[in-house]
């Protein structure tokens, strides 16, 4: 199968705990830590959103899938005969906050998807109260090369994405499950933001996965500074599926574009929206990144020809949009 890559410029360590130590490769662009903290604090005070799709979404945790947060259409009966696609999500910074991308994931769910994020609800509505006197961490100390001097191990592992997929497909076959018969087992995707994007790439070789969405991420060419993350550029040769990947102001830009250049035997599409490393995840309904991600999933999983026009053809929507910078290799309208 072919690999098609869309790189969405802006998204990575938006770890609502501000654990910027897990940010992607060192480069000229840097975080304004105070600004990011203020934006995240404001984000945490906002209510959950239900998305703009036909199926208003909800966020929940269930006992049968610990250490995961689920985003799905609130009223599954409204699906009728339509099947759900499944998206397993790796959080920015590989954090354990499964609510960190809640606007983005609720938007995807509202269009007929079951999105499953690693971790628990640790921010925004439904999060437990913070202990008295608890203060968020300050910015990490950086070395002369711009890298953090100390990076703690990731709070989650790539295996959690696989656990989410296993659970969803089992629920699809379990009589009595609200998902019984409601999932198309061929409509499976993995996605992630920054460090979570590396986790998505780790599990992308799973034969059940039909497409991969990588937001502001990329594999390190040299030694990976994140403890516990061992993926190398060799993983790019194992991809069997389509992949959607920030702009020059995104600190993951160099790594992601290097990945793009190394993929030579399959079709590739790269689109950069230069909005910085934080992306559009804090914007209502996930902003432009979520909108593009939905179209990509609709095309790659459901074969939506109208959605494909955003990426290919004479009226390619992203190609004509001056806000986006795109590149492609051998991309066709076939998924």
267 occurs within a structural domain: yes
How many other C-beta atoms lie within 10 A of the C-beta of residue 120? 17
Of the candidates 218, 253, 244, which has an alpha carbon nearest to the alpha carbon of residue 308? 244
pLDDT of residue 156: 93
The whole-number pLDDT of residue 7 equals 40
Counting the structural domains of the chain, the total is 1
Task: Specify if 253 maps to a domain.
Answer: yes
In a domain, 165, yes or no: yes
pLDDT at 49: 97
Q: Examine the pLDDT at 195 and tell me if it is beyond 90.
A: no
CATH code of the domain in which 59 resides: 3.40.50.1820
215 in a domain, yes or no? yes
In a domain, 311, yes or no: yes
133: pLDDT strictly greater than 90? no
Contacts of 107 (CB under 8 A, 6+ apart): 49, 51, 52, 53, 57, 285, 286, 290, 291, 294
* Torsion 300-306-309-310 (CA) sign: negative
Kindly write down the DSSP assignment for every residue of 21-42, as one continuous string. Answer: GG--S--S----HHHHHHHHHH
In a domain, 181, yes or no: yes
- Fill in the DSSP letter of residue 147: S
Is it the case that residue 328 has pLDDT exceeding 70? yes
**Percent of the chain whose predicted confidence (pLDDT) is above 70:** 68
**The pLDDT of residue 106 is above 70:** yes
What is the pTM assigned to this prediction? 0.83
| 15: in domain | no
Instruction: Please enumerate in sequence order all residues whose Cβ is within 8 A of that of 304, keeping only pairs 6 or more positions apart, or say none.
Output: 295, 298
**302 pLDDT exceeds 60?**
yes
Higher per-residue pLDDT: 322 or 111: 111
CB 201 within 8 A of CB 232: no
* Integer Rg of the chain from CA: 18
The answer as to whether 264 is a domain residue is yes
pLDDT at 99: 97
Range of the structural domain that residue 310 is part of: 20-123+147-329
Q: Taking Cα atoms as reference points, which of 99, 64, 303, 67 lies closest to residue 179?
A: 64
* Separation of alpha carbons 180 and 172, rounded Å: 4
| Rounded average pLDDT over 242-255 | 53
């Amino acid at each position: 199968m072919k690999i098609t890559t869309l790189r969405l410029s802006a998204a990575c360590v938006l770890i609502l705990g501000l654990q910027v130590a897990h940010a992607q490769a060192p480069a000229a662009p840097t975080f304004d830590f105070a600004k990011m903290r203020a934006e995240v604090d404001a984000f945490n005070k906002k209510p959950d959103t239900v998305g703009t799709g036909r199926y208003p979404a909800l966020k929940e945790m269930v006992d049968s899938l610990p250490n995961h947060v689920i985003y799905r259409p609130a009223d599954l009966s409204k699906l009728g005969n339509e099947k759900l696609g499944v998206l397993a999500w790796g959080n920015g910074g590989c954090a354990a906050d499964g609510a960190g991308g809640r606007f983005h994931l609720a938007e995807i769910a509202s269009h007929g998807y079951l999105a499953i994020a690693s971790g628990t609800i640790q921010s925004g509505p439904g999060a437990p109260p913070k202990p008295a006197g608890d203060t968020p961490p300050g910015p990490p100390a950086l070395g002369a090369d711009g890298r953090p001097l100390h990076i703690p191990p990731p709070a989650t592992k790539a295996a959690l994405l696989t656990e989410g997929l296993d659970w969803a497909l089992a629920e699809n076959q379990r009589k009595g499950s609200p998902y019984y018969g409601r999932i198309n087992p061929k409509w499976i995707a993995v996605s992630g933001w920054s460090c979570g994007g590396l986790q998505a790439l780790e599990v992308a070789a799973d034969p059940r996965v039909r497409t991969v969405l990588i937001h502001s991420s990329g594999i390190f060419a040299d030694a990976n500074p994140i403890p516990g993350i061992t993926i190398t550029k060799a993983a790019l040769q194992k991809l069997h599926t389509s992949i959607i990947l920030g702009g020059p102001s995104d600190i993951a830009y160099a790594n992601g574009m290097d990945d793009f250049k190394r993929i030579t035997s399959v079709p590739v599409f790269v689109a950069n929206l230069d909005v910085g490393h934080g992306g559009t995840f804090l914007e209502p309904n996930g902003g432009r990144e979520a909108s593009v991600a939905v179209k990509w999933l609709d095309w790659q999983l459901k074969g939506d020809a109208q959605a494909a026009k955003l990426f290919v053809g004479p009226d390619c929507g992203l190609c004509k949009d001056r806000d986006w910078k795109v590149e492609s290799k051998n991309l066709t309208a076939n998924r």
